[in-house]
Structure 1
Amino acid sequence: MDESILNHLFLPHHLPDSADEDFLIKGKHENEYKLLECLNEYFNSVTSAHVPFTPPVFRIFHDTIKRWAVLQNPQNLSVQDIQTTLEKLSTGTLLPLYFHAQNAAILIEIDETNQPIVSAWEVLLPNSTITSSITRHYSCFPVTTYRLCDRGQLNSKVHCEILADFMSNTIEYSKAQKASREVDEIRDVPESHYVCQWWIQHFQELTDNHATEICLPFKKKHRDQIRSHRELAPFRRSGLWMTIKVVVQTI
């Protein structure tokens, strides 16, 4: 596991060709959540060391990681867990979620008026974008955020079922032409628009929160880490790790 974590954090020269050779992302990325567990263990060790001064942002991030790690584990995920977590979110707390099956992430924050602020973004770029150009590619943040007037929509069982389904089932892959017919390109990342567009737009009485948000703009670079085009599941850097970096800088 340690070697796999180092692969995703630092992208050394000798990376595996196939995702199935990597502990974190083999299968259906069933071990990817362990990145969050490692972060949580680190924060626990710092806390137990009785550091004289802990910045408030450190406590916010630690609390966010603990909450996130529980729901990101696909082996324990349930609609009830999602609903309970959303109901317990208090003023100033955050809940990120990464959906490998949709190539997307969301961030939910409860503001000082107890109203949810939500955002969503595409995590990884398509293989063709990453490998077909020497140009550096960046994703720009912060993305547009939206305010929900009715928190009940967020906590509803129907909405929690949607999030659970996003976590487990890919809705759409990009298409490829093979033998004169169109097929799913399962070697590429899934389409993200069901989260980035539909999920946002399905809420009622949604307002743009751009005028009130205060966050310095920043960029995240997408590095070319795809080592093979012949593998059924080529190695790609963890989308969860990319999401963690974005959330850390957003907080």
Structure 2
Amino acid sequence: MNESILNHLFLPHYLPSSVDDDYFLQNNHQYEHMILEYMKEYFNQLESTKETSELPIFSALINCVKHWSILQNRQTCTEANLQSTITKLTPGSFLPLYFDAQNAAILIEIEKNNVHRPLVSSWQVLLPTQEITSSLVPHFSCFPVTPYRLYDRSQLSSLAHCELLVDFMKNTIEYSKSYKASRQVNEIRNVPGSHYVCQWWIQQFEGIQIESNSNPSIQFKKKHHDQIRWSDALLPFRRSGLWMTIKVVFRIILTKRLERIGTIIYKLLITHFLTYCLSKTCSKISTDVLVHCIRKIVRRLNKIETLLSSIDANDSNQWVQLTKQQIQMKINKILPKPDWQNSIKINKEKNNKLLINNLKFNGFEIYKHSCHTLNAYLKNQNLSQTFDFFSGSQNYDKFSYVNQDDYIPSMKEFTGKFNYTIEIALTRVEIWVELYLNQWINRPTMSHS
């Protein structure tokens, strides 16, 4: 599992500043469909442990993801596959599609009691950049959006309609507009316009009717937890629209079938999936990112506990309690040790000591610098200098000055008279400059009688 999925699931710190730096969004969203593949792997794991048998609604979600993952991949989204999938949809099935090229999503539902007249709906997924960045007020979208009932199911499986959906998947029809030099141009850095999917696609069906029997008790608001990162990039990083669509579709399905308890099942299912993804990638990420993700999961669990206290969840209580325990066990397994910060501090101190011990203060590199200006000045100065050493072992390699007020060191004297290397001679000069230069500049001038 690629660790870039955590960028979209958890929005950690230090997000990429461009789509080119994100595995899922780079190359025109080439691998964004992999989020659905990870969701399919997650459901396969649940099926292998018989956990999905606890709630029959999971079969609808599993079939939904199975069909959706094939069609969301541009390599396998063909007219033939789309036509075959729509034709084979069974009663009670859902088929969503997300079109990143149109910034829109659709949902097809085959009802059990009205197989030949399916419901369709469509909506804008991501908000335009200016709406996200121009206000600190949270942005919400209301769901489910208005559903429409088709006159005949064959309208969906016609070749012309399947070709249209494939074109929606691959080619942007409408860009946002901006003005540059008094001319209107396509703003490709913003999200595409969703008009053709959200309005025209619905209206082009013959005999379509607004579904008036929708249940108001299943309506909900979805907050746009979006992040826009932009630093001299052609296209900015934004949270995956597919991930947003997955959450909306799952909540629509679960609340439509289970009503109020469906909200808790949805939130717990998504939290379980987040934990699954984090456990698969925790070895590839830094400790601070891991802690950030764990905190978000724990906050979600706390909110779920609050919801459980206000709703009778007897029918689903066994699955709810089991799933909560599994999440907590996985969190405890990947949670860093309480002293994880101490280990970082110890390693840092150890590395600093090694760095100091490895330094060779007598090495040529330590003293290697040009000092062109100082060297030229010292060669051209005409003052006389006298240099002498103190005697005795305690004063070895220390020097005193004769006529100290007027003394200035000489490179020629150091290298000639005392046989110092260039490195040591330059060091002596540096020491003199540091300790005695101001004294030499401010020395009293001798008066001449």
Alignment TM-score, normalising by the size of structure 1 = 0.97
Q: Is the 8 A contact 1:104 1:123 kept in 2?
A: yes
Q: What are the equivalent positions in structure 2 for 1:51-70 lying under 5 Å apart?
A: 51=51, 53-70=53-70
2:41 alignment counterpart: 41
Bigger mean CA deviation after superposition, 46-55 or 227-236: 46-55
Displacement of 1:229: 5.8
Larger gyration radius, structure 1 or structure 2: 2
2:284 alignment counterpart: none
Deviation readout 1:61-106 (Å, 9 max, x if unpaired): 0110011000000112110110000111111101000000000000
Residues 1:216 and 1:235: Cα distance change in structure 2 (over 3 Å) = same
Aligned partner of residue 51 in structure 2, secondary structure: coil
Displacement of 1:214: 6.3
Deviation readout 1:118-171 (Å, 9 max, x if unpaired): 000000000000001111101111100010121111110000000000000000
How many pairs were matched up?
A: 251
The reply to whether residue 226 of structure 1 matches residue 228 of structure 2 is yes
- Counting aligned pairs with the same residue, the percent is 56
Displacement of 1:59: 1.3
Between 1 and 2, higher relative CO (CA 8 Å, sep ≥ 6) is seen in 1
Distance 1:183 1:147 in 2: 37
Q: 2:218 aligns with which of 210, 216, 219?
A: 216
Q: Is the 8 A contact 1:215 1:250 kept in 2?
A: no
Residues 1:214 and 1:58: Cα distance change in structure 2 (over 3 Å) = farther
Residues 1:155 and 1:174: Cα distance change in structure 2 (over 3 Å) = same
Bigger mean CA deviation after superposition, 151-160 or 214-223: 214-223
Please identify which structure carries the higher helix content: 2
Amino acid at match of 1:136: P
Displacement of 1:222: 1.2
1:136 alignment counterpart: 138
Distance 1:53 1:89 in 2: 21
Residues 1:70 and 1:52: Cα distance change in structure 2 (over 3 Å) = closer
Displacement of 1:182: 1.1
Structure 2 unaligned spans of 5+: 254-449
Q: CA RMSD in A?
A: 1.3
Q: 1:202 aligns with which of 197, 204, 212?
A: 204
Amino acid at match of 1:60: A
Aligned partner of residue 95 in structure 2, secondary structure: strand
Residues 1:59 and 1:172: Cα distance change in structure 2 (over 3 Å) = same
The reply to whether residue 113 of structure 1 matches residue 85 of structure 2 is no
Q: 1:180 aligns with which of 182, 185, 203?
A: 182
Displacement of 1:4: 1.1
Amino acid at match of 2:51: V
Superposition misfits of 4+ residues, deviation over 4 angstroms: 212-215
Aligned partner of residue 13 in structure 1, secondary structure: coil
Displacement of 1:54: 2.5
Distance 2:121 2:156 in 1: 13
Residues 1:217 and 1:52: Cα distance change in structure 2 (over 3 Å) = closer
Alignment TM-score, normalising by the size of structure 2 = 0.55
Please identify which structure carries the higher strand content: 1
2:364 alignment counterpart: none
Distance 1:119 1:168 in 2: 20
Residues 1:220 and 1:229: Cα distance change in structure 2 (over 3 Å) = farther
Structure 1 unaligned spans of 5+: none
The reply to whether residue 5 of structure 1 matches residue 19 of structure 2 is no
Amino acid at match of 2:205: F
Distance 2:159 2:24 in 1: 30
